[in-house]
Structure 1
Amino acid sequence: MKSPVEPKRDALIIFWQWARRHPLAAWLALALIINAGGLCLLRNNPLSSWAVTLWLGSLVALVVASSVGEVSISSLHVRAWARRFWSGPVVLEFLAIFAITLLGFTLRVTALDHYPPMMHGDEGEMGILALGILNGTQPLSPFSTAFLSHPTMFYFWQALSMAFFGRNEVGLRMLSVITGVLSIPLLYLLMRLGFGRLAGLVSVFLLAVSHLHIHYSRLAINNIQSSTAALLVVLLLAAARAKGSSLLYTLAGLTAGYSIYFYFGSRAIPLIGGVLLIFLWRERRAEGKDLLLFALAGWLAISPLLLHYVEHLSPLLERMQEVYLFSPRNIQHTLGQMGGEGSRLDILRWQLLRNLRFFLDYGDASAFYLRDLPVFDLGTVLLFWVGMGLALAKPFRFGHAALLVWFWIALTLGGVLTNDAPNAPRLLMAVPAVFAFGGLFVARLFSLCERLFRPTSQILLASFLLLLGVFVFKVNYDRYFVEYAQKAPGMIFLTMAREMRRESRGYRIYLLGAPHLYAGHGVLRFIAPDAEKVDCLEVEDCLSLQPGDKGVIFFIVPQRLEELKIIRARYPQGEYGEAYDNYGRLLYATYRLPPESLAHLEG
């Protein structure tokens, strides 16, 4: 008679034998089981650390499943890679990319503590949430939503950035710097794989010096992460096509799914990946297994956030309605911008033209940059549009198709179908493709000259490109570090917050800012968290001062400067000060009452 343990042991033996015969299916089953367990824990307790652990475990199991039979590294492989790397051309190629990446990093990180000279309220709000995570005072699940319904995973990355680089604006913004710089080698790998070294070098130089890309790599918002994620998905699919690797298809799916944790516009990335995957399947470069792995990877990556959306659907729908072009409010708003009546087709046509002008001579209509500063220089514009034409001439080549699908889906979902176009944060996913088209054109031009003309013509063309590179660099540098420095809007928030931070130990803050500015503004709270700030909705509310160990500073916006007369009449012994922007326009005024002046007054 068998003991009760023997049937269980036999079942385990049978399962183990099946798993050894079918390792892919076994690891996939394990990934799904672990993921389901994590979702159950997450539903019962959104703050469960075990749920996060199981989610990560399911992703690891899926990566292992897709790498079965693929990953094999021997000492012979290592020695072959080393010999290839130290060959002359490869070393020069590496040094060139390293130099351009270093240039891009320098342009993005230099003087990060005081440039850009503004800080948007969204940066402050996100920074406050990240600080709460870092300090342990803000219990947040990485799989939920918070400020303006943005997914909270991004704030955990910002908290990690501040843990390494400081709990200030530098630490907060460094995450975007790193993510923006990372796009430089990624774009090179994509262009090198599809179009050669020259296309890669030209593309990444244009990206490295682009003032638009530099600016958004210096802001502590989640747009540059979505742009880099879109680039990474296209790169992984291109590499999967070249290598025939199921692991790369899985990594592409994980990236596409994980990108949803960043900006709302990231929802275009799975669509970009899906369209390209179908293209590869029709080319017979991707098998049914690869499509399954891509979809399953995306599902496992995003499933915890989808669970949150199922239980909290209204914030997601409200945000979509807020920006969707054809919501009733936005239809009326857009018709007002058009200056008259029109059909939905007229609105679409108008939106398309405005968004295309973004890639010609328009600025950024969002509140994060400048409307009157063209986002692309003339050289980049010419290279982009000619490169786009070359790709459209042969759209079914995979390299061309990848760039076209990437650009047009990002343009349509991020620009044409959203309000207040052209909006750079929403269009940022399409921006690396602009530089890729430019690199494509230059590579084709050199190839044509090589076939038709003597080598001297290539030397002349190389000299012209060198001059063009100098021109592109100078225009972008001047636009960002000279013109924008002079025109930068919104300086009042960061300038005022820094003064509040300096004076927080010795003074209480009374703010006469309503209805334009309140003490709860995100930048004031993030930069000067320890300052005692009080809103003076009416000046009379803040005139009953008491002596103490701290003095008082009144911060007064220009719209309420007349009320300073009332304060001065009550407390004539104060010190008056002013803060100006780069055009000499008044940002705000201050009226300082040191502690001794209050003590003397009361005495």
Structure 2
Amino acid sequence: MADLYERGGGDIRNARRLVAFVGVYIILVSQFLVFSKPVEETLTPPYTGLALIGIGIVVLGQLMPARPFLRRLSDSTALGDRAFWILAGASFSALAMMAMYFFTTYARVNYIPVVTVWLLGMGCYIYAFKPGQDFFDLSGFLDAVRKRRVEIVLVALLMVGAAAARFHRLGEIPRVLDGDEGAVGLMAQATVEGRLSNSFAMWDNFGALYLQLINVSMNLFGATPFALRLLPAVGGTLAIPCVYLLAREIGGRRIGMLAAFLIAFSHSHIHFSRIASVAYIQGTWLAPLELYFLLSGIRKRQSWRAALGGVILAAHFSVYLTSQVIAGMLLVFTLLLLFLYRSWFKTRLVQAAAFWGGFFIALFPAGLYFIMQPGEFTNRLDKEGMFQSGWLQATMESTGQGAAEILFGRVVHSFLSLIYYPAFDFYGSPAPVLSMISTVMFLAGLGLAFWRARNPSYLLLNGYFWAATIAVGMFALPPSADSYRMLMALPAAMIMAAIGLDEILQMFGVSWNANRFAYGAGVSIVLLSLLAFNLQTYYLDFAGRCRFAADVAGRFASYLGTQIQETHTDQKIYLLSDAIFIYGTHPSTPFLSHSRPAVNFPDPLENLTVISGEVIIAPPSRMEELELWARDHPGGDLRYTYDCKDPILLMYTVP
């Protein structure tokens, strides 16, 4: 084949490349169509003719003579490298969309080929904007590493510290799973079949692709709390370099390093990196990374960076709903640049087009799924939205306030949940998301960022923070959940806090350029104080106090699941249930018990007939009843499980 290619001459290679691509693409289409249908006993599989056509086109492309028309066509911009790779990227993404549709129709459960083609499409699109002849210049990369070696080492050390705070006894702290963590675990296990085997599907605005990755973790490490929480811990650790990159692009290296430290040891960020129920944590590294590549691409006029930012944003849609807020904010940001910074932005329209082109092309499969299942895309809004749920109308009627007043109050509440209200929901900490010292730095940085909004970088930072704050305030309920939902805005808040600290020191005459020792000493005192506060807040005030999982019933459900899983008997397990403690109310129980059931028994224990080897479990409300019954039926194994210092579960194995 190589001989044929050389014999025909290289002057029509672009035309041959296009023809070969069409042939290979047709073969791929035929194979996806074959794979989407059940296997039949036949002489030739379905769509064999289509595959043969593709093979013929591939061969024909290599036999094309180098005629003048083909030479001119091959030299045209329409068949140039950029046009070809953009076409390839769009075609592969469209093929993934088509394959996803057919696989869904014929109930196929292995979507690895679909995801592979989708990733290939994103790679082709990014490659279209390669800066030179070689997409990856190893020598240039090594030179950049040498120049930034101090930065790289410092960020790496921060990542090590952040990882230690997030992975330390990950499966044991918090010591219980909340109900939503159990639900995430069960749905992740359900991705092996059914609609969630489709990597572009959604469940409760969790992307199926993200759930599938959690299931991979559980396949590797077992269906354990550690495996369930592994991806959040990884995502929380990745936030450090991503926040550093965005902060450095906005304010320089000092701001980047300060922001990375602040988020690395934020007690709220540490906590939500250690539980699986709140997927906003993944947005704390994905969103800064998307914004970094867009901003650096526009500023440096490097289209490949902008294109990469666009495809990452599209992939973010297969993780969690933070992507929806970021996409909306960036659309407004682009329009503001177009109208308010026209002279500066018109020389960067190519980069903006590369970003949005990458976003829409990579969104093909997920976009089709949203069209097919719009309810999955708006699931959270439909259930917890201020407008859709009827909450706004009901509040207007009960308080007599107008809609604008209520909406403004909700935005204020979401803002204050960062700096004032305790972070109870999905946490249980009496402290707000930001400490008092962090709040001072943040408020100073917030004002400075607003003052500098005429700079496109600071305009983006303001948009990032306020888009998340307004989205939480205006579209999400209940208000008590604002604290964990404001994780969307936490990277922006930490960058603002870093700006605030840096500027406060400079205002006091302790600038980096004037007196590095004094600046370093001041920063060190503040950061060490914050480190001590955050680690104490999480590991001493929270982790050791049994505050997670909302209430006793939620904590009991987790202990119950663990106890059932650890009970080595084939006999029945009975739970002395009541109106509060019931098997089946919290998904954490079946997840931890590996779906092994317990029989709810609400009647008096004296009415229960049991045989040797069966197990009776009592919640706190019926422990005394089981203790008395065990005295009347001695010889069995009576065991208590404690929640901190309080007994929460009593188990008796019948002799």
Give the Cα separation in 1 of the matches to 2:454 and 2:431.
35
Give the 3-state SS of the residue equivalent to 2:276 in structure 1. Answer: coil
Give the Cα separation in 1 of the matches to 2:632 and 2:347.
78
The answer to whether structure 1 residue 180 and structure 2 residue 180 are counterparts is no
Find the counterpart in structure 2 of residue 125 from structure 1: 183
1:333/1:473 Cα in 2 relative to 1: closer, same or farther (>3 Å)?
A: farther
The structure 2 residue matched to 1:208, chosen from 264, 270, 283, is 264
Q: Give the drift of 1:154.
A: 1.0
1:537/1:357 Cα in 2 relative to 1: closer, same or farther (>3 Å)?
A: same
After TM superposition, list the pairs within 5 Å mapping 1:78-477 onto structure 2. 78=141, 80-81=143-144, 84-85=146-147, 90-133=148-191, 140-146=197-203, 148=204, 150-221=206-277, 222-281=279-338, 282=341, 283-284=344-345, 287-331=348-392, 340-366=399-425, 368-370=426-428, 372-421=430-479, 422-448=481-507, 455=514, 459-477=517-535
The structure 2 residue matched to 1:497, chosen from 558, 561, 571, is 561
Give the Cα separation in 2 of the matches to 1:56 and 1:349.
42
Q: Give the drift of 1:542.
A: 8.3
* 8 Å CA contact 1:108, 1:217 repeated in 2: yes
Q: Give the drift of 1:484.
A: 0.9
Q: Give the drift of 1:513.
A: 3.7
Give the Cα separation in 2 of the matches to 1:51 and 1:79.
35
* 8 Å CA contact 1:158, 1:172 repeated in 2: yes
Give the Cα separation in 2 of the matches to 1:223 and 1:286.
35
Q: Give the drift of 1:183.
A: 0.9
Give the letter aligned to residue 298 of structure 2.
Answer: R
1:474/1:274 Cα in 2 relative to 1: closer, same or farther (>3 Å)?
A: same
1:151/1:6 Cα in 2 relative to 1: closer, same or farther (>3 Å)?
A: closer
Q: Which moved more, 1:408-417 or 1:441-450?
A: 441-450
Q: Identical aligned pairs, as a percentage?
A: 20
Find the counterpart in structure 1 of residue 28 from structure 2: none
How many residues are matched? 576
Give the Cα separation in 2 of the matches to 1:264 and 1:154.
12
1:593/1:404 Cα in 2 relative to 1: closer, same or farther (>3 Å)?
A: same
* 8 Å CA contact 1:505, 1:531 repeated in 2: no
Give the 3-state SS of the residue equivalent to 2:542 in structure 1. Answer: helix
Deviations 1:309-363 (A, max 9, x none): 2222334445312111123532267569xx8332212211221221121122212
Q: Give the drift of 1:17.
A: 5.0
Find the counterpart in structure 2 of residue 601 from structure 1: none
Task: Identify unmatched segments of 5+ residues in structure 1.
Answer: 598-603
The structure 2 residue matched to 1:519, chosen from 583, 598, 607, is 583
Q: Give the drift of 1:569.
A: 9.4
The structure 2 residue matched to 1:557, chosen from 595, 619, 622, is 619
Give the Cα separation in 1 of the matches to 2:286 and 2:620.
42
The answer to whether structure 1 residue 593 and structure 2 residue 621 are counterparts is no
* 8 Å CA contact 2:74, 2:80 repeated in 1: no
* 8 Å CA contact 2:562, 2:593 repeated in 1: yes
Q: Give the drift of 1:439.
A: 1.1
After TM superposition, list the pairs within 5 Å mapping 1:23-38 onto structure 2. 23-38=81-96
Deviations 1:485-524 (A, max 9, x none): 2141333233332222221446642223454354343222
Give the Cα separation in 1 of the matches to 2:196 and 2:320.
21
* 8 Å CA contact 1:510, 1:553 repeated in 2: yes
Give the letter aligned to residue 260 of structure 2.
Answer: V
Q: Which moved more, 1:419-428 or 1:203-212?
A: 419-428
Find the counterpart in structure 1 of residue 21 from structure 2: none
Give the letter aligned to residue 315 of structure 2.
Answer: Y
Task: Identify unmatched segments of 5+ residues in structure 2.
Answer: 1-56, 550-554
Give the Cα separation in 1 of the matches to 2:427 and 2:213.
24
Q: Which moved more, 1:110-119 or 1:43-52?
A: 43-52
Give the 3-state SS of the residue equivalent to 1:117 in structure 2. Answer: coil
Q: CA RMSD in A?
A: 3.4
* 8 Å CA contact 2:443, 2:500 repeated in 1: no
Q: Give the drift of 1:110.
A: 0.6
Q: Give the drift of 1:58.
A: 2.0
Find the counterpart in structure 2 of residue 62 from structure 1: 125
Give the Cα separation in 2 of the matches to 1:251 and 1:400.
21
1:76/1:175 Cα in 2 relative to 1: closer, same or farther (>3 Å)?
A: closer
Q: Give the drift of 1:529.
A: 0.8
> TM-score of the superposition, structure 2-length normalised?
0.79
Give the Cα separation in 2 of the matches to 1:201 and 1:387.
15
Give the letter aligned to residue 267 of structure 2.
Answer: H
* 8 Å CA contact 1:578, 1:586 repeated in 2: yes
* 8 Å CA contact 1:133, 1:139 repeated in 2: yes
Give the Cα separation in 2 of the matches to 1:541 and 1:17.
90
1:215/1:52 Cα in 2 relative to 1: closer, same or farther (>3 Å)?
A: same
Give the letter aligned to residue 533 of structure 1.
Answer: A
Deviations 1:176-196 (A, max 9, x none): 111111111111122223222
Find the counterpart in structure 2 of residue 600 from structure 1: none
Give the Cα separation in 1 of the matches to 2:150 and 2:196.
49
* 8 Å CA contact 2:228, 2:276 repeated in 1: yes
The structure 2 residue matched to 1:545, chosen from 596, 610, 621, is 610
Give the letter aligned to residue 325 of structure 1.
Answer: M
